[in-house]
Structure 1
Amino acid sequence: MIRKRLRTLSLLTALSLSLVSVVTACGSNENGNSGSSASSSSPSATTSGAMGSKENVKLKFTYWGSPQEKKAIEDAIKAFEKQNPNVKIEGLHIPGDDFLQKLNAMVAGNEAPDISYSGSWKLKMGEEGLIYNFNDLMKDDPSIKKDDYLTYAWWNWDKDKSAGPFQASVTPSLMYNADMFKDAGVNPPPTKAEDAWTWDEFVAVAKKLTIDQNGKHPDDPGFDSKNIKQYGVKYSLGWNGYMPLVLSNGGDYLSADGTEFGLSKPEATAAIQKIADLINVDHVAPSPVQASSIPAPATALQSKKVAMVVDGSWNHLDLSKTKLNWGVGVLPILKDYKTFFHGGSLVIFKSTKHPKEAWEFSKFLTDPNNVLEMHQGLWMPQLKKWYEDPALIKKWASEELPGRPAGFQEAVMKSTYEHEVPSPENNVKNFVEIDAAVGPALDQVWLGKKTAEQAMKEIESKVKPFVKGTYLK
């Protein structure tokens, strides 16, 4: 299923909403007060002991991630415990697809973690008073300043109420098999935003890299689109795949004033249709059905099933573990180069008995120095100085690192930092509810059963009640 994981998340979000009233009643702090009653409290006001005291503290921390991420988090926990001998962290690794369901069960059973990874559903938890407002946490801590973070790295549920900044960042990325380009006699993707391929140039390259079982390309007479041996590109069909192109064409998820559904506008539908045409007209990308038999990006590139992949930068870690000769380029454009960072944030539940220690652990995990290995392949920093200070850039973006191929600093780091706009996920109010309608509608577009214009116009009335503007602009 194209949208299996996102649909599951939407379903689980609905479960989250149904549990909210139970959770609010069950969550309590050490004084026996309900979680929502502490909405203005900061850790310094509620904690019974400061960091470094003799009091023994145990924190429960829930998170997801790959085996590499799990190991990096375990190492970070050990490092934090070494610095803070009186604090013990119980790390609970939960697979992503099961995460929200299990977290809801824990919270409803009055066993909420102290601190947790989170998805977009955190905003509803914030509205219900279940988690701390990050702005309150910053008031008593001069070491944290909002201006230190990426401009749009914030998860807000109201104007002055935030679930925090990204714990770490990721971004849409074009990755490719360098040997396949060399064998085809094609120049690799450009690495500078000002040199980005136009969409027509991108399609032309993808055609040269697409081969059927008889060795023919899409523009060759007799090309067999039903029996393709090698695809030019595999394009992510989720919002993180199509939104950079929508933005590049002057469109957006919502209208500029936030009052209308932007994906039904001509600038957006034209961009979405271009991606669908890669599958159904140009025959350079696999259909959703065909894509189901193609491995994950790193394996797909290594096996030469595809020559390019447009997907999340988190795939760089898996690519770094292969012996593949791979590279990265800037995304193709229609008009202007635009992209975004996105990522989750750490949330602290108000039911914790040790908010001060949870706050310190949160700060520890969001400092790239403490999880540097993950910032050298899987993650990107969320603090501006890591994009501006040469010494810090060298730590995580040096192209001598396995997860940072030649061109990374221009194609991924610089192009995103200099051309970022808000990600719809943490900017659009009611994004989860809107995306739950958009996803299935776009499935019909990817399958060639409807045009993008038809599909988006059909759901306009359905999503209209959820269109309530944005948080970050």
Structure 2
Amino acid sequence: MKKHTGRAKLMLVFLMITVLFVTACGSGNTNAGTNNTGNTAGESDAPNEGADVNSGEKVKLKFTFWGSPQEKKAVEDAIKAFEAKNQNVTIESIHIPGTDFLQKLNAMIAGNEAPDLSYSAAWKLKMGEEGLIYNFFDLIKEDPSIKKEDYLQYAWWNWDTDKSAGPYQASVVPSLMYNADLFKEADVELPPTKAEEAWNWDEFVETAKKLTLDRSGKHPDDPGFDPKNIKQYGVKFSLSWSSYMPLVMSNGGDYLTEDGKEFGLAKPESTEALQRIADLINVHHVSPSPVQASSIPAPATALQSRKVAMVIDGSWNHLDLSKANINWGVGVLPVLKDYKSFFLGGSLIIFKSSKHPKEAWEFSKFLTDPQNVLELHQGLWMPQLKEWYEDPKLIDSWANEELPGRPAGFQDAVMRSTYEHAEPSPENNVKNFVEIDAAVTAGLDQVWLGTKTAEAAMKEVEAKVKALVQGTYLK
């Protein structure tokens, strides 16, 4: 294989990641393809011994991240706490809105101004394959304070069996959220909070019908109901993989087949689940189409404005809901056969071009310790370490249902239901996920609009992604 220079390698990955960004919608010194001992990407990723973090040598790290105003403030507070403990280290934090993040990070790489460490998404795996970021498994070999077994089982971003961009920095999960006042007005029982009591699909649909109203106050099964003039929908799915995959898994399907050799979403178990979601829109008229959903605000505002009674989307919305003037709650997801869910999340990556990898590693450990960013774990994030789901004192510190972002039932409906029924998230498990998902998303757009069945659409996608199906990383 032809060996790239550091500069050439950076430009190659810049182009590759830009292509991924287009189809699916991160220091730039010239030894970026090597670590600081001069080793090539195939050798150990562990940083060489440099200055002690608490020595007198002044170190400045550049750190790029995204997030809401609340997340930005909490991260900046954590940075101040780290700098207070490590007075020789200064963190230059660069907050970039999520929609612009990859584009700006690519520009920094191309301009030889890459950060020392950064938030990241699925595109980090290409960087790992090209040797631009440190292998987390090499880093922990040199640090006995970090153990792989301490983390959630599937919370890993691997680009090979023994090469990882790290575990989740923090976790989020698919979540069912609702406006409790709308349930009360409709005289409908609130969603169950225990996985063993989850609604089956028919119960879920019937509940959604009772919560759906046209402008004359009629429900979908009432004579004269007008599906073209709905003022309140029973449920709104985000229609992304993070929301539909729990139902696919519940029905015995998956993104790929169990052996990783075939496109799983084209199999009957998967297409049946996808079709049931589409039927919420086009048959039962209890959920908005993509066109209708474009005029409905984000989940917190949608529930507050009474445009929808339930939302199935990410748990990151809990923070916004806690700050809205709304009587809200959470329930377990509906099931078809067995309850299934997953954790998802990004990871912090450290660039091999960093002049201070040892300090970057220490900051990475600090920022991924839930105790140091506890405020974010009390409404926005969930921990990535198993003990935070098993130790009652730790659970109480972040999942206490008296906290604003943790409504009654949170521990059962969100925390335990996921921890006890977790499967790998396709995003960090399926090889070539970004490329495959671009085709899947385009195919499903037709399903949600009712112009194709899920079976027909996924068969077409199967033919397009056949060469990309190359197995999984975690299972």
Residues 1:449 and 2:428 aligned together: no
User: Helix, strand or coil: the match of 1:135?
Assistant: helix
Give the aligned partner of residue 44 of structure 2.
40
Give the aligned partner of residue 169 of structure 1.
171
Give the aligned partner of residue 128 of structure 1.
130
Answer whether contact 1:191 1:407 (CA < 8 A) is retained: yes
Answer whether contact 2:260 2:469 (CA < 8 A) is retained: yes
Query: What displacement does 1:23 show?
Result: 7.4
Q: 1:420 to 1:444 in 2, by over 3 A?
A: same
Distance 1:170 1:212 in 2: 34
List per-residue Cα deviations over 1:117-139 (Å, max 9, x = no partner).
00000001000000000000000
Give the aligned partner of residue 18 of structure 2.
12
Identify the match of residue 191 of structure 2 among 145, 164, 189. Answer: 189
Answer whether contact 2:33 2:130 (CA < 8 A) is retained: no
Identify the match of residue 94 of structure 1 among 82, 87, 96. Answer: 96
Give the aligned partner of residue 390 of structure 1.
392
2:199 alignment partner AA? W
Identify the match of residue 27 of structure 1 among 28, 32, 41. Answer: 32
Distance 1:99 1:288 in 2: 25
List per-residue Cα deviations over 1:219-263 (Å, max 9, x = no partner).
000000000010000111000011000000000000010000000
List per-residue Cα deviations over 1:243-288 (Å, max 9, x = no partner).
0000000000000100000000000000000000000000000110
Say how many residue pairs are matched.
Answer: 458
Query: What displacement does 1:14 show?
Result: 3.0
Residues 1:335 and 2:341 aligned together: no
List per-residue Cα deviations over 1:69-91 (Å, max 9, x = no partner).
11111101000000100000000
List per-residue Cα deviations over 1:277-302 (Å, max 9, x = no partner).
00000000011011000000000000
Q: How does 1:448-467 map onto structure 2 within 5 Å?
A: 448-467=450-469
Answer whether contact 1:26 1:109 (CA < 8 A) is retained: no
Q: How does 1:179-328 map onto structure 2 within 5 Å?
A: 179-328=181-330
2:159 alignment partner AA? W
Distance 2:240 2:33 in 1: 38
Q: 1:368 to 1:118 in 2, by over 3 A?
A: same
User: Helix, strand or coil: the match of 2:442?
Assistant: helix
Query: What displacement does 1:28 show?
Result: 6.5
List per-residue Cα deviations over 1:349-394 (Å, max 9, x = no partner).
0000111100010000110111111101110000000000000000
Answer whether contact 2:53 2:86 (CA < 8 A) is retained: yes
1:313 alignment partner AA? S
2:254 alignment partner AA? D
Give the aligned partner of residue 4 of structure 1.
none
Distance 2:291 2:125 in 1: 34
TM-score normalized with structure 2 length? 0.94
Structure 1: gaps of 5 or more residues:
1-9
Distance 1:355 1:198 in 2: 50
Distance 1:162 1:68 in 2: 29
Distance 1:30 1:411 in 2: 44
Identical columns (%)? 75
Distance 1:118 1:308 in 2: 30
2:32 alignment partner AA? G
Query: What displacement does 1:322 show?
Result: 1.2
Q: 1:281 to 1:15 in 2, by over 3 A?
A: closer
Identify the match of residue 154 of structure 2 among 152, 155, 160. Answer: 152
Distance 1:37 1:112 in 2: 18
Query: What displacement does 1:13 show?
Result: 4.7
Query: What displacement does 1:12 show?
Result: 3.5
2:77 alignment partner AA? D
Residues 1:370 and 2:372 aligned together: yes
Distance 2:19 2:408 in 1: 40
Structure 2: gaps of 5 or more residues:
1-15
Answer whether contact 1:27 1:110 (CA < 8 A) is retained: no
Identify the match of residue 471 of structure 1 among 451, 461, 473. Answer: 473
Q: 1:456 to 1:37 in 2, by over 3 A?
A: closer
Answer whether contact 2:34 2:41 (CA < 8 A) is retained: no
User: Helix, strand or coil: the match of 2:291?
Assistant: helix
Query: What displacement does 1:27 show?
Result: 2.4
Residues 1:434 and 2:436 aligned together: yes
Give the aligned partner of residue 414 of structure 1.
416
Answer whether contact 1:29 1:352 (CA < 8 A) is retained: no
Q: 1:13 to 1:397 in 2, by over 3 A?
A: farther
Distance 2:281 2:46 in 1: 52
TM-score normalized with structure 1 length? 0.94
2:20 alignment partner AA? A
List per-residue Cα deviations over 1:91-127 (Å, max 9, x = no partner).
0001111111111111122111000000000001000
Identify the match of residue 73 of structure 2 among 49, 71, 74. Answer: 71
Q: 1:58 to 1:28 in 2, by over 3 A?
A: farther
Q: 1:16 to 1:163 in 2, by over 3 A?
A: farther
List per-residue Cα deviations over 1:155-207 (Å, max 9, x = no partner).
00000000000000000000000010011000000000000000100000000
Answer whether contact 1:24 1:128 (CA < 8 A) is retained: no
Distance 2:183 2:17 in 1: 41
Q: 1:254 to 1:430 in 2, by over 3 A?
A: same
Distance 1:461 1:332 in 2: 31
Answer whether contact 2:75 2:373 (CA < 8 A) is retained: yes
User: Helix, strand or coil: the match of 2:254?
Assistant: coil
Answer whether contact 1:38 1:350 (CA < 8 A) is retained: no
2:18 alignment partner AA? L
Q: 1:24 to 1:265 in 2, by over 3 A?
A: farther
1:27 alignment partner AA? A
2:46 alignment partner AA? S
Q: How does 1:97-112 map onto structure 2 within 5 Å?
A: 97-112=99-114
User: Helix, strand or coil: the match of 1:459?
Assistant: helix
User: Helix, strand or coil: the match of 2:408?
Assistant: coil
Cα root mean square deviation, aligned: 1.9
Distance 2:80 2:176 in 1: 35
Distance 1:31 1:420 in 2: 38
Distance 1:356 1:286 in 2: 50
Distance 2:17 2:453 in 1: 26
Answer whether contact 2:330 2:414 (CA < 8 A) is retained: yes
User: Helix, strand or coil: the match of 1:379?
Assistant: coil
